[in-house]
Structures are given as structure tokens and as C-alpha cells.
């Protein structure tokens, strides 16, 4: 995943201070969450109505300038966070809701079913994420749910693979055998003995996936496959802004782009810190 | 008799994320030529840490103070280069797990070659094969198996190969760290026989680290009993088994099943090991000791000489 | 208190594991090659009796423990526990029958769910088998905690396995095994990983619960000394077969089979004044994929002769209640 690669590089730069990373990530996330929740109060103007002359550079009143239609860029960046969060949340929930149970059940049953489902999942996984999402989004058309669905399909295999491989090891643990020995039914074994033991790694995957989903969503919108304008969306604004970059109207690109970078970084740092906290024995010594 | 290796005031600490573990405190013992000393204790008592310190094989977060004198030099202050000259040639070690201590992609003879070359680059192949064959035969492995890979050996045979590697360069001290714990009793017996023969024929000192008081009784000459990082009793084998002084030793001996005794009553030691991160004042065994006195809670007992034996207990001071 | 009713009867138990071979080769072979981990075992255990099953690693003793309670499916054989024919039970019936027989594993760390408090772990069998209501269940657990010396019981209830020492964990596992009031317990090397000072505590606890619940006990171990301490009867196993079975005192006083004698001789005795005459056999237990013909022990037996290649290792009653598979030593 892209976000994990980014964090690895940052970590090499900073040495072994994942605690600091975690705090910075958490701080960024909280900032974005506040932004999304209180968008109507924080934004000075409506994001979908012209609020001044077009293509104004950053100035007092329009601290991030305005775009070609006279929309306030700052307000659009703030409202854009809502779209980013909702699509990422819906997409990862769908992916998790399908990928986790599938991985649990298939991993526990094993055998031929396992080989078959894993083969299907692996073939989906080998597709480059964005291209697969583009293909599905092109089929489904625009709209929040459609976009979320096309992103979800990309991430189902991620959950499936993580869960299945963990279940495959955990099911041979003595405590699972012990649960069978006391006469527990397979659903009980799965929910009480297997699931709690795979959950910590799932949570980490979840928060990493949100970062990736936000990027994929931005990518789709950038390519015009995302949200219908004029709904504020960072990816869409970014693609619109790049038409004006030759006129030196840098603010149209820089601010939505910065928002995407910061939120992705925030999630990545947060999930990496979470990983060290929840799975402390992995990668403690290098 | 000549002393081969002498340990004085050895203390070892591990720095962990959440505190310092005092793994070994103030250990004193020495091993003479042709003598087997056994360091015996339960898990977490610091016996393996002590054994590894003798070869300076401690992890990087460990800090050792005191001295380990071998040939007039302190091993703890040696540079990495110096200690590398000692390891394998003068002092060698046999680890617990024979399954993972051999490199799976190297033939048995390659293991020997690597060891020999590390200490003397001028030896030719013929000589090296001779040394290896000799060591293997002494450990009960046919020299014909020099060309075999480790996976072609069973667990017991691998441990014999490990011993052969340890004795190949005729070291004067061998540290055997639980060499038979992962093996079956019959194989354990075979390996112990090998060790006993080595002591007789090759003038070696053996430091045997084990938790099994039965094994100790069969092979050791002297015993150091460790509890929670301290040597609580240090005596020759006959005295220790006949008349154990420290309450811990007494209880430990009573909790070992002995098949020779008809209906033996097994004792146990209530409670568990103190937390080595913050050790209470006074004697480390006091919370589990049936003979605890007031002073045990206030002051740490020193090593007390009692009829030529050493014991760390206020009962004798 | 041993009385005459058998709780466990095992007849001719077999467990063969099929070996993976290249598929091309499988056409040329008439019989698929298999590892005979357990090869025709018969024994019975009475109420309140502990049978020790002793052997080296690779003897198949662990497979026996798991097969007789069908945690792994036996290849063949008859198993009756508490007058119930275990082999014929269908899935759901077997699941319900599990309250009558339990197993204690070797590794107390791995046999408890790290994310379940120990109180819940011990209570879970009650929930599964629908015994009592919520309040009664908790009371039963607390009562049992006291019995296995996890005191204060209330204080232990909400703790997690990693907060306990090895001995305490094994006591939790024992509590979980007996909470449904089973008739039969398998202990698979339950004390092997514990320190000496703790091991005797757990051994004593096992004797206590065995007597209190009048349990039939199968005590699987590599350690004859522990078996001697806890068992009334001992069976010695070698490469999938029982080679000798007898009452404890009889076995220790008059071991018949050469393997039993060797095993006994190999146990280190904590007494330095005792210098024993030793028979140390050559070599190690052969791989079960490549078993010797006839007597399986003959490759290591100091008394082996030519005829040993032809015998079939069936147990013969040499004296009353003392069976051995060696026809030459009586």
C-alpha cells in the first residue's frame, strides 16, 4: 500500500519515534474531523455559490483565493473533507463487511473452498487499485454510493488476505483446539476465539485503508469519474485547478492537494502508531 | 587443583523499555580443571544469562559488571576481537536447541572448517578433516557422516555434532546450556555419557546449566544453586544432596520425584518468583521461605561460609 | 477409590496419517503409504483410576490422547466412554457428549485464549452445554477457583492469561476441564513445561481432583517419575504400540519389556551416591515412516535376536494384570 510505504520512509528519517508520529497523525486527524463536522460554521462562504470575483489570489476575505467560477477555495477545501471522509468511510466499511467475514469463514474451513476463494481474491488484488476502481466506476457511473462501491471492491482482497492468513495460523493454536474440546460450535469458536485474536491487525488495516481510499477517491474525481460538480471535492478541484496552472493561478492546485496530502499522512502515521501499540512484538527490534 | 575459570562479583542487568531487570547479582564461583560445575535453578533464575556471559554472548541491552577471569584476563573487558579468539578455541558453548543451532545449508564438515579456519587459517583440508573426525568420534558420531547435512541427523545426533564442534579445538572450558532439555530421556542419557567421557579423557572443565537435579546428581562435581539471580548455595555434590543448607535447595530437592523411592511425598514451593524489575529489600526467597525471620525482610543476606560451603541465608549468619 | 466399572474402554485404536507422495508415484503403489502413529491400542480405565501412557516423542502418545476424544478422527477402533460409543456419534451428538470428557494440554500459555478473561474461559463450557443460569455459572466458577487454589477467586475472575504465572495458568486450564463434571480427563504432558517447584503443585492438584470427582484419568507423559507419582496403572508405548502395561508397583518392581527397563534406567536420579549399572541403547527412535519389521524395538534392543524380526508384538499376560509384548523376557 502506498501509505505504508510513505510512513516507512518517514520513520527512517525520524528514527524510532513512532510515538511522535502517532501524536502528529492523531492531531491531523482530529483537525480534519473537526473540519468535516463543523464545516458550515468554519467555512466563510457557501462552497457551491460564487462569493466574489473569479480567480482571485489568496487575500483577506479569501485566504485561499477563488476559482474560475468565483467559489471560495477555502470553503471548498473545508467542505471537501466531508466528501473525503464519507466516501472513505462507506468504502472501507463495505470492504471490511465483506472481506473480514469471508476471510474468517474461508480461513477456518480451509481446503478447496480456501484455494478457490483465495485464487479469486488474489486475481483481484493483482490489479492496480486505481485502474480497477476506474473500470468499475466507469461501469457504475457517478455518485457517492457508486464511487464507494468501486473503491470497496479494490480493498476487499486486502481484508480477506490479512484475515485469512491470520485465521489459518490461529486455528491451529491450542486454545482453538481447546474450544473444540469443550464442545463449542464453529460459529462460537470463530466469534469468541478466532475473531478477537485477529481484530487488532484488522483495525490497523482499516485505518490504513481509509487513507488509501481517500487517495483513490481523489484520483477518481480527478479523472472525472467521481462526484458530480459542483459538490465540493478535493480531487475534482485539483483537476479543475490544473487547467489554470499555466496562468500561475497556483492556489487552485496547492490547497486541495495539500489537504489530500495531509489527511493521508495523518491516517498513515496514526495507523502505524496504532500498529506498534496493538502488535508490539512485530518489528520491535531491527 | 588448577583453577580454569573464575567468576567474581558478576552482576548482569537488562535494560528494558519498562525498567531494568536485575538478572544476575553478585555471582561468585570457579571451575577447576577436569571438574564439572553445574548451575542449577528454575526458569528465570539467571542461570543461562550467567553461562552466556562467560563467552560474552549477552544481548546489546545487557550490562555486566564484576569479572570473569580466564588465563589471567578479564573476559568482560575484552574487545570483540579478543573474545572471538577465545570463543570456540578456549571456551565453547553447546546450546539447548540442536534443531536451530546448525546452519541447514552447510554440511557438517563445513561447520568444522569454518570453526577451524577462524582460529588458524594455515591448516590444510586434510588436517581439518582429521580434527573433525576425531571430535565426531569422541562424541559418538561416525566420521563417515562428515558430508551429511544437518537435516539428515536426528535431534540427539545433532546435539552430538554440536558437542563435537564445541570440543574440536580442545577448549579448556565447555559451557553446556540445557544441552538435553529438548531431547528424550534415553537420548539424554546418551549425551550425558558423552559429556562424562569428555571430562575424563580430555582435561576439560564443564559448566553444565540445567534445571534437572537428577542430571546434576549424575554428572556434576560442584553445584551452584541459583534463585532469582543469586547463587543461594554453592557446594560439592555429595554435601548438597545429603545436607542442603539453604531452604530453597531443601524444598527444591524435595519437589523432585525420585523413582527409586517407593511412595514419596512430593513437596512444592508455594508462591512464585519475585519480579526481577523491582526486587524487594532483603532476601529474595523470603516470601516463599518457610523459615523466614525478621532480618530476612530487612537485610539482604551475604554469602556465609559454613563448614567450607557457601550459602546465602540468615539461618547461618 | 478405584472400583470395577470401566469408564473408558478402548479397543484396537488405530490412527494412520496418509503421507503425501508425488501423484505420479501414487499409481504404481497398491497401498497408499501412511504413518502408523497409533497401531492397534487397547486399554481400559476404571472410575477413579489414572492410567499413565509413557513414551518418547514420536511414540504416538499424543495422537492417542487426541484420538480417543475425537479431536482428530481415529482411523479405526472402538472407543467407549461412560457407556457411550464415541466412534458412532454424529457431529452434534459428539459435541454434546464432550462435557463428559476433557483434555488438558501441555502448554498452559497457548491453551488459553489471550483475549478472554480467565473467568470467562472457565465459564464458557457451562454456557456451551447450557448448565445453570448466569448467576449460578459464575458461582460455580468462583467455587472451582477456590478449589484449584486461585485465591481470591473474585480477584482472579477478571484477570487475563498473560497476568498469570505458568502454574496458575495450568490451574485455570484444569478448572476449565472439570467444570462440566466430566467422567474422564486426558492430560497431555500437562506438567512438562512447568518448573519443578510448580510441577509438584499441579501434580498434587490433579490427584486431588481425580479423587474428588472420581475421574478416570489418562496421563500422557514422557516422564516416568511423574507417572509413578500420579498413576495406578502404567502403559509404556513405543512406535505406536503399547509394549508393556501393568500396575504401577508391579511395573517398577518387575519391568519386563527391554524398552521399559531402558526407559527406567535412563531417568536421572537425584542422588549422587547412587552409581547405577546402566544399559544405554544405541540410536534413537526410528522414523514411523520406515518401521522395522517384527518387533519395532529390535533395532535398539540390547537383547535382540534373529527371531525378533518375526514376532507380531501382541501383548501377552505374563502375570495377572501384567502384559508385555516381548515373548522372550518373562
Q: Which residue from C minimizes the CA distance to B193?
A: C280
- Is the pLDDT confidence value at B59 over 50? yes
Q: Are the Cβ atoms of C271 and B260 closer than 8 angstroms?
A: yes
Residue B83 has pLDDT above 80, yes or no: yes
Give bridge partners of residue C184 from the DSSP assignment. Answer: C101, C216
> Closest residue of C to A192, CA-based?
C116
Taking an 8 Å cut-off on Cβ atoms, the answer to whether A182 and C107 are in contact is no
Over residues A209-218, the mean pLDDT reads 88
Q: Using the structure block, give the residue that is written with the C-alpha cell 477413579.
A: C48
Neighbour-count burial for C273-310, b at 16+ CB within 10 Å, e otherwise: eeeeeeeebeebbbebeebeebbbbbbbbeebeeebee
For residue A106, the distance in angstroms to the closest alpha carbon of chain C comes to 20
Facing B42 at nearest CB: one of C195, C229, C284: C195
Chain C residues near residue B264 by CB distance under 8 angstroms: 229
Q: Interface partners of C (3+ CB pairs, < 8 Å)?
A: A, B
Q: Given CB atoms, is C180 within the 8 Å cutoff of chain A?
A: yes
User: Which chains does chain B touch, 3 or more C-beta pairs < 8 A?
Assistant: C
Beta partners for C237?
C242
Query: If you count DSSP H runs as helices and E runs as strands, how many of each does chain C have, helices first?
Result: 11, 12
Question: C195 touching B, CB under 8 A?
Answer: yes
CB B24, CB B12: distance < 8 Å? yes
Q: Which of C151, C164, C195, C224 to mutate to test the interface with B (most CBs of B within 10 A)?
A: C195
> What pLDDT score does C170 carry?
92
CA angle B172, B173, B175 (to 5 degrees): 160
Distances (CA, A) of C37 to C19, C296, C299: 12, 13, 18
Place of cell 476465539: A193
DSSP characters for chain A? -HHHHHHHHHHHHH-S-HHHHHHHHHHHHHHHHHHHHTHHHH-SS-TTS--SSTTPPSBTTBTT-B-TT--BHHHHHHHHHHHHHHHHHHHHHHHHHHHHHHHHHHHHH-HHHHHHHHHHHHHHHHS-HHHHHHHHHHHH-SSHHHHHHHHHHHHHHHHHHHHHHHHHHHTTSHHHHHHHHTT--HHHIIIIIIHHHHHHHHHHHHHHHHHHHHHHHHHHHHTT-SPPTTS--HHHHHHHHGGGGGGT-THHHHHHHHHHHHHHHHHHHHHHHHHHHHSTTTTS--
Contact B139, B163 (CB under 8 A): yes
Residue C251: the pLDDT is 93
- Interface size A-C, in CB pairs within 8 Å, comes to 59
Q: Which of C196, C224, C284 faces B256 most closely, judged by CB atoms?
A: C196
Beta bridge partners of C322: C319
Selecting from C57, C272, C285 the residue whose C-beta is nearest the C-beta of B217 gives: C272
Q: Tell whether C62 lies on the interface with A, counting CB pairs under 8 A.
A: no
Nearest to A183 among C96, C112, C116 (CB): C96
Alpha-carbon distance C206 to nearest alpha carbon in chain B (angstroms): 13
Q: Report the C-alpha gap between C318 and C49 in whole angstroms.
A: 22
Share of chain A residues as helix, strand and coil, in percent rounded to the nearest 5: 75, 0, 25
Q: For C66-89, b where at least 16 C-beta lie within 10 A, e where not — what string?
A: bbbbbebebbebebbbbebebbeb
Tens-digit pLDDT profile for residues A253-286? 899 999 999 998 888 888 887 877 776 544 333 2
Alpha carbons C196 and C202: distance in angstroms, whole number: 10
- Mark out the alpha helices in chain C (DSSP H runs): 23-28, 61-68, 91-97, 118-128, 134-147, 153-157, 166-178, 196-213, 224-230, 248-253, 258-266
Nearest CB among C98, C115, C124 relative to A196 is that of C115
More confident residue, C44 or A60: C44
In whole angstroms, give the CA distance from residue A86 to residue A92. 10
Mean pLDDT of chain A: 85
The answer to whether the peptide bond before residue A231 is cis (omega within 30 degrees of 0) is no
Q: What is the pLDDT of residues C248-291, one digit of tens each?
A: 999 999 999 999 998 888 888 888 887 666 777 777 788 777 78
- Summarised one tens digit per residue, pLDDT across range B180-199 is 887 888 888 888 888 888 87
The reply to whether residue C270 touches residue B253, judged by beta carbons under 8 angstroms, is: yes
Measured between CB atoms, which of C200, C280, C281 is closest to B266? C200
Cβ proximity of A213 and A220 under 8 Å: no
| Spatial CA neighbour of A182 closest among C141, C80, C124 | C124
If contacts are CB pairs under 8 Å, which of residues 97-116 in chain C contact chain A? 97-99, 102-103, 105, 107, 110-116
Q: What is the dihedral of CA B274, B276, B280, B283, to 10 degrees?
A: 70
Helix (H) or strand (E) holding B77: none
Subunit contact C269:B214, Cβ cutoff 8 A: yes
Cα distance from N-terminal residue to C-terminal residue, chain C: 31
Question: What kind of fold does domain C6-18+33-238 have according to CATH?
Answer: Rossmann fold (3.40.50)
What end-to-end distance do the CA atoms of chain B give, in Å? 29
- Helix axis angle for B108-119 and B125-138, nearest 10°, is 110
Select from B154, B188, B214 the Cβ nearest to the Cβ of C270. B214
In this prediction, residue A16 carries a pLDDT of: 54
**C125 CB within 8 Å of a chain A CB:** yes
Nearest-10 Cα torsion for B149, B151, B155, B160:
0
Cβ–Cβ below 8 Å for C165 and B237: no
Q: Which helix (H) or strand (E) holds A75?
A: helix A73-109
Cα A239 from Cα A257, distance rounded (Å): 10
B90: cell is: 578456549
pLDDT at B227: 93
**Mean per-residue pLDDT for A230-240?**
86
Peptide bond into C250 cis (omega under 30): no
Alpha carbons B225 and B29: distance in angstroms, whole number:
11
Q: Does C273 touch chain B (CB under 8 A)?
A: yes
Q: Which residues on A lie below 8 Å from C89 (Cβ)?
A: none
Average pLDDT, chain B: 89
CB pairs under 8 A between B and C: 118
Continuous segment of H or E residues that includes residue A168: helix A144-170
CA distance A132 to A135: 5
Residues of B with CB under 8 A from a CB of C: 42-43, 154-157, 184-190, 192-193, 211-218, 220, 237-238, 241-242, 251-253, 255-260, 264, 266-270, 272-273
Of residues A3 and C255, more confidence is placed in: C255
Structure confidence by residue, pLDDT tens digits, B96-131: 887 788 888 999 999 999 999 988 888 899 999 999
Which of C107, C112, C124 lies closest to A182 in CB terms?
C124
What pLDDT, on a 0 to 100 scale, did the predictor assign at position B204? Answer: 86
How close is the nearest chain C Cα to the Cα of B242, in Å? 8
Closest Cα in chain C to A188: C128
Q: Which CATH superfamily includes the segment(s) B3-90+171-316?
A: P-loop containing nucleotide triphosphate hydrolases (3.40.50.300)
Instruction: Pick from B45, B141, B145, B189 the residue to mutate for testing the C interface (most C CBs within 10 Å).
Output: B189
Distance from the first to the final alpha carbon of chain A: 21
Ramachandran angles phi, psi of B14, nearest 5°? -110, 130
Q: Do C125 and A183 touch (CB under 8 A)?
A: yes
Note whether A188 contacts C125, CB cutoff 8 Å: no
Which of C67, C124, C181, C187 best probes binding to A when mutated, by most A CB atoms within 10 angstroms?
C124
Interface check A182 vs C, CB under 8 A: yes
Q: Is the pLDDT of residue B4 over 80?
A: yes
Q: Which three cell numbers stand for residue B287?
A: 516470601
CA gap B128, B126 in Å, rounded: 5
Do C125 and A182 make contact, defined as CB atoms within 8 angstroms? yes
Contact A43, A224 (CB under 8 A): no
Where residue C60 falls (left for φ over 0; alpha for ψ -120 to 50; beta otherwise) is: left
Intervals of chain C under pLDDT 70: 1-4, 26, 30, 275-277
Q: Are C114 and C161 in contact (CB under 8 A)?
A: yes
CA-CA distance, C285 to C323, in Å (whole number)?
22
Select the residue of C195, C201, C226 nearest B211 (Cβ to Cβ).
C195
Sign of CA dihedral A142, A145, A146, A148: positive
- What CATH number was assigned to the domain covering residues A2-40+63-278? 1.10.3720.10
Grouping H, G, I as helix, E, B as strand and the rest as coil, residue C247 is strand
Cβ contacts of B192 on chain C, cutoff 8 Å: 268
- All structural domains of chain A with their residue ranges: 2-40+63-278
Amino acid at each position: 500500500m502506498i501509505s505504508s510505504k510513505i510512513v516507512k520512509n518517514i520513520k527512517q528519517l525520524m528514527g524510532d519515534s513512532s510515538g511522535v508520529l502517532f501524536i502528529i497523525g492523531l492531531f491531523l486527524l482530529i483537525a480534519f474531523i473537526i473540519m468535516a463536522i463543523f464545516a458550515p460554521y468554519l467555512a466563510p462562504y457557501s462552497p457551491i455559490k460564487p462569493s466574489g470575483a473569479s480567480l482571485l489570489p489568496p487575500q483577506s476575505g479569501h485566504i485561499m483565493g477563488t476559482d474560475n467560477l468565483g467559489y471560495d477555495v477555502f470553503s471548498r477545501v473545508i467542505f471537501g473533507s466531508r466528501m473525503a471522509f464519507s466516501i472513505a468511510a462507506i468504502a472501507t466499511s463495505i470492504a471490511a463487511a465483506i472481506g473480514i467475514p469471508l476471510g474468517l469463514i474461508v480461513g477456518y474451513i480451509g481446503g478447496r473452498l480456501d484455494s478457490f476463494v483465495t485464487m479469486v481474491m488474489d486475481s483481484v488484488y493483482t490489479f492496480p487499485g486505481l485502474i480497477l476502481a476506474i473500470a468499475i466506476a466507469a461501469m457504475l457511473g457517478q455518485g457517492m454510493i457508486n464511487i464507494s462501491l468501486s473503491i470497496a471492491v479494490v480493498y476487499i482482497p486486502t481484508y480477506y488476505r490479512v484475515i485469512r492468513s491470520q485465521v489459518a495460523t490461529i486455528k491451529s493454536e491450542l486454545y482453538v483446539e481447546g474450544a473444540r474440546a469443550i464442545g463449542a460450535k464453529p460459529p462460537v469458536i470463530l466469534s469468541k476465539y478466532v475473531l478477537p485474536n485477529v481484530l487488532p491487525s484488522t483495525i490497523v488495516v482499516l485505518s490504513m485503508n481509509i487513507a488509501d481510499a481517500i487517495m483513490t477517491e481523489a484520483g477518481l474525481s480527478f479523472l472525472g469519474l467521481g462526484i458530480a460538480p459542483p459538490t465540493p471535492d478535493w480531487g475534482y478541484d485539483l483537476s479543475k485547478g490544473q487547467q489554470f496552472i499555466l496562468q500561475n493561478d497556483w492556489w487552485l492546485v496547492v490547497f486541495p492537494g495539500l489537504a489530500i496530502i495531509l489527511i493521508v499522512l495523518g491516517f498513515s502515521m496514526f495507523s502505524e502508531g496504532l500498529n506498534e501499540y496493538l502488535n508490539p512484538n512485530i518489528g520491535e527490534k531491527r | 587443583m588448577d583453577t580454569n575459570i573464575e567468576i567474581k562479583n558478576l552482576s548482569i542487568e537488562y535494560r528494558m523499555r519498562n525498567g531494568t531487570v536485575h538478572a544476575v547479582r553478585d555471582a561468585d564461583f570457579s571451575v577447576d580443571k577436569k571438574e564439572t560445575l553445574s548451575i542449577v535453578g528454575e526458569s528465570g533464575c539467571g542461570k543461562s544469562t550467567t553461562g552466556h556471559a562467560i563467552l560474552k554472548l549477552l544481548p546489546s541491552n545487557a550490562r555486566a559488571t564484576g569479572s570473569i577471569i580466564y588465563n589471567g584476563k578479564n573476559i568482560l573487558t575484552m574487545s570483540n576481537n579478543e573474545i572471538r579468539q577465545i570463543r570456540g578455541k578456549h571456551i565453547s558453548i553447546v546450546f539447548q536447541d540442536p534443531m536451530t543451532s546448525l546452519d541447514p545449508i552447510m554440511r557438517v564438515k563445513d561447520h568444522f572448517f569454518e570453526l577451524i579456519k577462524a582460529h588458524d587459517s594455515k591448516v590444510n583440508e586434510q588436517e581439518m578433516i582429521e580434527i573433525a573426525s576425531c571430535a565426531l568420534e569422541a562424541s559418538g558420531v561416525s566420521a563417515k557422516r562428515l558430508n551429511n547435512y544437518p537435516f539428515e541427523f536426528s535431534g540427539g545426533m545433532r546435539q552430538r555434532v554440536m558437542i563435537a564442534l564445541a570440543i574440536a579445538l580442545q577448549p579448556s572450558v565447555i559451557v553446556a546450556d540445557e544441552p538435553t532439555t529438548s531431547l528424550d530421556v534415553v537420548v539424554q542419557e546418551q549425551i550425558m555419557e558423552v559429556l562424562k567421557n569428555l571430562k575424563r579423557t580430555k582435561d576439560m572443565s564443564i559448566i553444565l546449566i540445567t534445571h534437572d537435579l537428577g542430571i546434576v546428581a549424575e554428572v556434576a562435581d560442584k553445584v551452584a544453586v541459583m534463585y532469582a539471580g543469586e547463587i543461594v548455595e554453592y557446594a560439592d555434590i555429595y554435601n548438597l544432596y545429603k545436607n542442603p543448607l539453604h531452604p530453597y535447595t531443601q524444598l527444591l530437592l524435595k519437589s523432585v520425584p525420585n523413582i527409586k523411592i517407593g511412595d514419596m511425598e512430593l513437596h512444592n514451593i508455594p508462591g512464585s518468583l519475585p519480579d526481577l524489575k523491582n526486587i524487594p529489600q532483603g532476601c529474595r526467597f523470603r516470601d516463599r521461605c518457610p523459615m523466614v525471620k525478621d532480618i530476612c525482610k530487612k537485610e539482604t543476606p551475604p554469602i556465609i561460609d559454613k563448614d567450607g560451603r557457601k550459602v546465602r541465608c540468615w539461618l547461618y549468619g | 477409590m478405584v472400583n470395577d466399572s470401566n469408564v473408558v474402554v478402548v479397543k484396537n485404536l488405530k490412527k494412520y496419517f496418509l503421507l503425501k507422495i508425488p501423484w505420479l508415484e501414487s499409481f504404481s503403489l497398491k497401498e497408499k503409504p501412511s504413518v502408523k502413529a497409533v497401531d492397534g491400542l487397547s486399554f481400559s480405565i476404571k472410575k477413579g483410576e489414572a492410567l499413565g501412557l509413557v513414551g518418547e516423542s514420536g511414540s504416538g502418545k499424543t495422537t492417542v490422547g487426541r484420538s480417543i476424544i475425537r479431536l482428530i478422527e481415529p482411523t479405526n477402533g472402538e472407543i467407549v466412554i461412560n457407556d457411550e460409543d464415541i466412534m458412532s456419534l454424529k457431529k452434534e451428538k459428539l459435541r454434546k457428549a464432550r462435557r463428559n470428557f476433557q483434555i488438558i494440554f501441555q502448554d498452559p500459555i497457548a491453551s488459553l485464549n489471550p483475549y478472554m478473561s480467565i473467568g470467562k474461559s472457565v465459564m464458557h463450557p457451562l454456557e456451551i452445554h447450557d448448565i445453570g443460569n448466569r448467576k449460578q455459572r459464575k458461582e460455580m466458577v468462583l467455587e472451582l477457583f477456590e478449589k484449584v487454589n486461585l485465591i481470591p477467586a473474585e480477584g482472579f475472575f477478571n484477570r487475563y492469561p498473560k497476568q498469570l504465572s505458568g502454574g496458575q495458568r495450568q490451574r485455570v486450564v484444569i478448572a476449565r476441564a472439570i467444570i462440566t463434571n466430566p467422567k474422564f480427563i486426558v492430560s497431555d504432558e500437562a506438567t512438562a513445561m512447568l518448573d519443578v517447584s510448580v510441577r509438584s503443585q499441579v501434580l498434587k492438584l490433579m490427584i486431588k481432583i481425580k479423587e474428588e470427582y472420581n475421574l478416570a484419568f489418562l496421563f500422557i507423559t514422557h516422564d516416568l517419575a511423574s507417572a509413578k507419582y500420579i498413576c495406578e496403572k502404567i502403559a509404556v508405548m513405543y512406535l505406536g504400540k503399547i509394549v508393556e502395561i501393568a500396575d504401577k508397583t508391579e511395573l517398577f518392581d518387575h519391568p519386563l519389556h527391554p524398552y521399559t527397563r531402558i526407559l527406567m534406567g535412563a531417568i536421572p536420579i537425584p542422588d549422587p551416591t547412587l552409581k547405577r549399572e546402566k544399559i544405554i541403547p544405541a540410536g534413537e527412535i526410528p522414523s514411523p515412516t520406515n518401521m522395522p519389521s517384527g518387533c519395532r524395538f529390535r533395532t535398539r534392543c540390547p537383547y535382540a535376536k534373529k527371531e525378533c524380526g518375526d514376532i507380531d508384538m501382541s501383548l501377552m499376560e505374563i502375570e495377572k494384570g501384567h502384559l508385555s509384548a516381548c515373548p522372550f523376557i518373562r
